[in-house]
Structure 1
Amino acid sequence: MNYTYGVGENVEVKVNNFARKHQLFHEGATVLVGVSGGPDSMALLHYLAEARTSWKLRLIALSVDHGLRGDQAKEDVDFVEAICKQWNIEFVGTFLDVPSYKKKYGKGTQVSAREMRYHFFGKQMKKFKADYLALGHHGDDQVETMVMRLVRGTNPSSLTGIPIKRDFAGGSIVRPFLCLSKDEIGEYCRLHGINPRIDPSNEEDNYTRNFYRLHIVPLLKKQNPNLMHHMQRLSESMTQDDMFMQMEAEKAMNKSVLFDEKQKKARLSIKMFRGIPLALQRRAFHLILNYLYQSVPADLSYIHEEQFFGLLHSPKPNITVDFPSGLIISKAYEEITFSFENVKPIDFYITLSVPGEAVLPDGSIISASITDCPVDNKGTAFVCELENITLPLIIRSRKQGDRMKIKGMKGRKKLKDIFIDEKIPMELREKWPVVTDAEGEILWLAGLKKGIVNGNEESRKFLQLNYKKKSDM
């Protein structure tokens, strides 16, 4: 269907069709409207006020003074309140101390303002049990967002742009004006006698978005006058494709990645991850980051993605790379671990009574008993003649230069070499339990290698040690 843009009545038809196509509202809904007093939000408030009778909507306008523009910002809120009285619309205004929030959390002005504003919106959604929060973002905002993300980001999902509708605080955020240009909204305001407030900071280019709005997007629109409609169609198409690809990436990720919600860690099976198509590998990688980071750092770039894939395909068995905000990605043989921890495990030294048991720092248990009928359960048990052991037994973390006697070889072998042979990840080596006798002789690298103890065929009493890992409990 074709429309003549720039005429008020056709703008309303256009928004009506857009809202129906994307199911933005339902009859009898409670709709909160974010209103700054500017052209976009005032036009949206007017449009919804005109539509509320046919849709049986309850409208509540929300207006925020961010504490950034002094009396002018307060006057904007007062202006919106006065209009709401005139148009018979419920109103909630608030003051948010963005400068103090910015100082406390060390964030930028725009990020701080957005976080506080959306927190306020969320509280009002729950207070009024609202179905929708309507915001006045328009097609030119969409162009700015997509171009900014294209220039600065690496995640293909960023090309989906500003969502038309998304879940928020028990309801949905909706943006009915994404089908309109800034000029169309201006014409709508003129036609309906709306005299909005103008924020002079919008003409300053010290903020990134304003720079794109004032300098970059106008150049692109000269090359393609229909850029806004082109980008919106691209956004909708990419959103549909992205939803499918995300679902497939989540399926693939769930098969190859284990998450530790408590410690905010992830473990990836290299063999299984490599079996995923490359397009899904990239998406799965970004899904892992989204899961681990509370907010993905702005300085995360394609370089970090390349580092990850370099690590994934490196022939080296042990590699560690540092990501922004303290995230550490470590490869250990056939696993890659994502973690915010880089703390060396605490050394431990525990005396094990015989009989008795000891609980290790990681929650695993080693127990000791005396028996005349030992049961050697391969890796989880150690058995030797009691009379050949000098008590008490000690369980400790490994030391540099540790060596032990191993069946089938002369002399002693370094624990370091045993770990390498058995492909034990670096992060596990420092906390692996080493069992010695009172003289320091290493009897058992618990669950991994047994030392040689001289035997006595006539012995009738045996020492049996059992190792129960925390992960097996």
Structure 2
Amino acid sequence: MNRSNLDEQVRPFMEHYQLIRHGTKVIIGVSGGADSLLLLKYYTMLREEWHLEIIAVSIDHGLRGQESAQDVQFVAELCKKWGVTFVGRQVDVNQRKQMEKEGTQQAARILRYQVFEEVMRSYQADFLALAHHGDDQAETVLMRLIRQSNPASLTGIPIKRPFACGYLIRPFLTLSKPEIYHYCDVYQIVAREDPSNQSSTYMRNFLRNQVMPLLKQREPQLHIRIQAMTERLTEDQDYLMAQTEKMLAETTTFSYPIVFFQIEAFQTYPMALQRRAFHLILNYLYHVLPANLHVQHEKDFFELLRNTRSNVTIDFPNRLKVTKSYDVIRFHFLSTQKRDGEDHRLIHIPDTIPLTDGAFLQAAYTSVDIKEDKHTLQIPVALTSFFPLTIRTREPGDRIRVRGLDGSKKVKDIFIDEKIPLEDRGKWPIVVGADGTLLWIIGLRKAEIDKQLKQEKYVVLNYIETNNRRHHDA
């Protein structure tokens, strides 16, 4: 290998994936190890030709005391020597671990990327360049193969992705670790290595120290083959995700915190799209995917689609419920806050539900178009956006599109008009559709519901009074 080989290996990769542009600002994460120092050196070699502004960022994670602080100082001195703008930061990984109940590596990564984002935005940089290499990619794919069952995870470490005000890029995914060490010798770069990398306590280090050397004895170009595989899988995944988004647009209603779809329409699509749709729905509902979300939840979801019972609910982490009601699937959260007298429950069909006012609500299916009275409400099953139904007490801003009126009215004003005592208003039962539509303030007002077309099946709600309260006429 000679001096030109580094550029010959890396430049075509960068140009193919558009990882470099003339006149841009580049943030480079530099730990003091061989990988990141070589990346910094390579960018200084490109600086004049591409008119680049380079900013190196080095972070002390506070895990190795004075030694990690010296790593940052070492990078600072090297940047001064090479004429590179330097930014040094310190984060407290142990504090985050205690506060967020996270592992060391997870906490360190989150804090590290927070610093990268902050520095990138402050400089309005175009790229954040990190020194992950081909062997890192191979380790990542092997680790995910061992721990996960989601084929999409085998796309590995992305070459380029949006980040902060620009893109996060990894120009060295085309290099192996031995090649990086070789080029460090060529450019007389003396790196500072983190001794924890030699420990096989973590899965990644076990693969790096124990497994990868054996595999590379048989296949020295393993990193190249795995990188090629991840690139092809990424192309496949991008296509499948685009098709999944089309599928969701055609079948599924998103109305946070509720998502619902008709099972028959959902199941007309290939399983590859159904599975990805399931995960996209979870990504939409959860701000951060819970750590206790497992592959078993996916299995439970698809078993629910095939379940022949009319009403079934399964539990997901963080109070997320997935409910099958007739031919509709609903994802919905249970309220995490409950005030005195407040009620918020799913209406199972058939069922009899005790209410906060001492009365009961019966729910049942019928094929007969009954004549409603003040104690009953009938809803066509075909109005799928309403199911599953919930019964709850009032919430601020509640409005109902009152039957017989051209428009909606505040629940608060209805209570006032009907002279409902203040102490009763917070306990008054209200039937609500899955899409948030108020359908029945029991005993007071019903909503306009489209019943023009003859239906084959209805849900009938029957309010059963007790001596505790006599509701007004509906």
TM-score (structure 2 length as normaliser): 0.75
1:107 offset after TM fit, Å? 1.4
Deviation at 1:279, TM superposition (A): 1.1
Quote the residue 1:300 is aligned against.
293
2:76 alignment counterpart: 81
Alignment of 1:368-407 (within 5 A): 399-400=359-360
CA contact (8 A) 2:261 2:330 kept: yes
Within 5 Å, give how 1:160-309 maps onto structure 2.
160-261=155-256, 264-309=257-302
CA contact (8 A) 1:403 1:415 kept: no
Greater C-alpha Rg: 1
Alpha-carbon shift at residue 348 of structure 1 (Å): 8.1
Who is 1:357 aligned against? none
Match of 1:57 in 2: 52
Correspondence 1:90-105 to 2 at 5 A? 90-105=85-100
Question: Which deviates the most, 85-94 or 279-288?
Answer: 279-288
Distance 1:312 1:399, change over 3 A: farther
CA distance in 1, matches of 2:448, 2:380: 12
Shift of 1:422: 10
Query: Shift of the alpha carbon at 1:165?
Result: 0.6
Letter in 2 for 1:194: I
Decide which of 152, 155, 171 is 1:157's aligned counterpart. 152
Alignment of structure 1 residues 16-35 onto 2, 5 Å: 16-35=11-30
Aligned equivalents of 1:450, 1:75: Cα separation in 2: 71
Q: Which residue of 2 aligns with 1:369?
A: none
Q: 1:214 to 1:59 in 2, by over 3 A?
A: same
The answer as to whether partners of 2:130 and 2:168 remain within 8 angstroms in 1 is: yes
Secondary structure of the residue aligned to 1:24 is coil
Stretches of structure 1 lacking an aligned partner (at least 5 in a row): 1-5, 350-359, 363-394, 438-442, 452-462, 466-473
CA distance in 2, matches of 1:277, 1:85: 57
Deviation digits for residues 166-213 of structure 1 (CA, Å, limit 9, x no counterpart): 100010011000000000000000111000001000011222221222
Shift of residue 449, structure 1, vs aligned partner: 5.6
CA deviation after TM superposition for structure 1 residue 446, in Å: 9.1
Q: Give the match for residue 131 of structure 2.
A: 136
Matching residue of 1:391: none
Question: What's the CA shift string for 1:77-112, capped at 9, x where partnerless?
Answer: 000000000000000001111111221112111111
Correspondence 1:110-125 to 2 at 5 A: 110-125=105-120
Contact 1:27/1:57 (CA < 8 Å) preserved in 2?
Answer: yes
| Residue-by-residue CA offset, 1:421-454 (whole Å, 9 max, x unaligned) | 99985542564247459xxxxx989967699xxx
Q: Percent identity?
A: 40
Contact 2:344 2:391 in 1 (8 A): no
Which secondary structure does the structure 2 equivalent of 1:32 belong to?
strand
Distance in 2 between residues matched to 1:150 and 1:132, nearest whole Å: 30
Shift of 1:115: 0.9
Secondary structure at 1:322 match in 2: strand
Determine if contact 1:40/1:185 at 8 Å carries over to the other structure: yes
Alignment partners' CA distance in 1, 2:262 and 2:102: 36
1:332–1:425 contact (8 Å) kept in structure 2: yes
CA contact (8 A) 2:378 2:461 kept: no
The residue type paired with residue 269 of structure 2 is I
Contact 1:64 1:117 in 2 (8 A): yes
Determine which of 122, 134, 156 is the counterpart of 1:127.
122
Tell me which amino acid in the other structure corresponds to 1:195. V
Structure 1 position 147, deviation (Å): 1.2
Uncovered stretches (5+) of structure 2, i.e. residues with no partner? 346-354, 393-429, 432-439, 450-458, 463-471
Q: In the superposition, relative to structure 1, how do residues 299 and 144 fare at CA in structure 2: closer, same or farther (>3 Å)? A: farther
Distance 1:7 1:329 in 2: 60
For residues 134 and 290 of structure 2, the distance between their equivalents in structure 1, rounded to whole angstroms, comes to 27
Q: 1:322 to 1:298 in 2, by over 3 A?
A: same
What is residue 428 of structure 1 aligned with on the other side? 390
Question: C-alpha root-mean-square deviation of aligned residues, in Å?
Answer: 3.7
Count of residue correspondences = 398
Deviation at 1:268, TM superposition (A): 2.5
After TM superposition, give the deviation of residue 302 of structure 1 in Å.
2.7
Could you tell me how far apart the structure 2 residues matched to 1:421 and 1:251 are? Answer: 24
Q: 318, 323, 326: which one pairs with 1:330?
A: 323
Call closer, same or farther: CA 1:205–1:12 in 2, change over 3 Å.
Answer: same
Q: How far did 1:330 drift? A: 1.7
The aligned residue for residue 48 of structure 1 is 43
Query: Structure 2 CA distance, aligned partners of 1:80 and 1:172?
Result: 23
Shift of 1:10: 1.3
> How far apart are the structure 2 equivalents of 1:434 and 1:32?
58
- Name which of 333, 337, 352 aligns with 1:340: 333
Q: Map 1:344-363 onto structure 2 (within 5 A).
A: none
C-alpha change, 1:132 and 1:110, in structure 2 (3 Å) is: same
Q: Conserved in 2, the CA contact under 8 Å of 1:444 and 1:450? A: no
- Rounded to whole Å, the distance in 2 between the matches of 1:312 and 1:416 is 28
- The amino acid of 1:331's aligned partner reads K
Distance in 2 (alpha carbons) for counterparts of 1:217 and 1:417: 65
How many Å apart are 1:314 and its aligned residue? 0.8
Q: Which amino acid aligns with 1:267?
A: F
What residue identity is the alignment partner of 2:221? N
Q: Which whole-Å deviations, capped at 9, do the CAs of 1:134-169 have from their partners, x for residues lacking one?
A: 000000000111111122223222111101111000
Q: Given the superposition, is the C-alpha separation of residues 309 and 7 from structure 1 closer, same or farther in structure 2, using an over 3 Å criterion? A: farther
Q: Deviation at 1:334?
A: 2.0
Q: Residue 306 of structure 2 corresponds to which residue in structure 1?
A: 313
Alpha-carbon contact 1:327-1:338 (below 8 Å) kept: yes
SS of residue matched to 1:197: coil
Report if the CA contact (8 A) 1:396-1:435 is conserved: no
Rounded Cα–Cα distance in structure 2 between residues aligned with 1:164 and 1:397: 60
Matching residue of 2:352: none
Partner Cα distance (2:238, 2:362) in 1: 53
